[in-house]
Amino acid sequence: MTAVMIDLQGTEITSEERELLAHPAVGGVIYFSRNFTDIDQLHELVRQTRAAARNPLILAVDHEGGRVQRFREGFSKIPAMGAILTHANSREDAQHCAQELGWLMASEVLAMDIDISFAPVMDMNGVSEVIGERAFAKDAEHVTLLARSFIKGMHQAGMKATGKHFPGHGSVKADSHIAMPVDERSWEEILRTDLPPFIELANCMDAVMPAHVIYPAVDDKPAGFSARWLQHVLRAQLGFKGVIFSDDLAMAAATAAGTMPERAIAALDAGCDMVLACNDRAGAKAVLEALEPRFTEAHKGANRCYEHLAKCAGLGWQTLRNHPRWHQAQLLLERFADGS
């Protein structure tokens, strides 16, 4: 069963959004910085979101650390993943840092009753400015090593992990938010440089988010709209059995697949389990209208994504703040703050 993830406009749910949350195709909500002012407000917004929904929801956020951390005030300041190797004293220390940061990030998000943060980034820190230090490293060996540890920490906290942006966004310069990136490299080069983390961690990842990037050596469609990438490579060759999310259908690179409804249908037909229709309310409504015939009464409430990714019981916010591991993590963060 497929589903749509939508966004909210502000810090409280509007009457229009209550109607959208009652739509049979809505299976998730993603939060952004505009949805957050403080801990208590966010907790209430999450409660309202779940209460208004017709279906069980996957609640998500991009809370990677560094410049991509949607919740700030009251939350731990997670460093960019690219800072780990810079500040680590050894390979083992880097793995420990990655694991503890994964646990800390996931524990704080779970304490808000949010199921997943779309993390970790498994791209290379190559020529892409939109990726940059969001990536763990410039090479596949270190990305794989640290992503594995970060995922281990997330799992210890009770959160499922989403690897992104398959098969790799770091080696193409254009930003898919505002342009259509085309990676002209050969299949052999992509396989050698960008794919290894996804290959090595296929059994560790619970979900994958493909890139809005065209790789002409493999397909003329962006990866998130390509059955060749999602079904032949990711599912068949890599053996990935988890959930596939589209990246945001409102991004400029997604326009290669047509209108918002056409993008949603193309992504779902290619193999995505849930599509993100965000930052374009009219487009999201059009997507829901177009997909409604797929959601018969017999499928009411069915949501493979929820069944696979719904969070385990996390610690409450105050309990977490009193946890010895949380306090140890705060000491770890001081290393990143003072550059030691």
Residues annotated as catalytic are 177, 247
Burial class (CB in 10 A: 0-12, 13-18, 19+), 96: middle
Report how far residue 191's alpha carbon sits from residue 186's, in angstroms, rounded to the nearest whole number: 9
Residue 147 near residue 191, CB atoms below 8 Å: no
Residues 150, 101 contacting (CB under 8 angstroms): yes
d(CA 63, CA 61): 6
Residue with tokens 């199921």: 115
CB distance 153 to 108 below 8 Å? no
Task: Sort strands 68-69 and 116-117 into parallel, antiparallel or unpaired.
Answer: unpaired
Q: Are 146 and 81 in contact (CB under 8 A)?
A: yes
Cα 228 to Cα 224: distance, rounded to the nearest angstrom: 10
- Written as six digits, the tokens of 214 are 């065209």
For residue 9, the 8-state DSSP code is S
Cross-strand pairs, 209: 164
Strands (E), the chain: 3-7, 26-31, 58-61, 63-65, 68-69, 116-117, 162-166, 207-210, 243-248, 274-277
Which amino acid is present at 32? F
Contact residues for 53 (Cβ-Cβ < 8 A; gap 6+): 21, 22, 26, 29
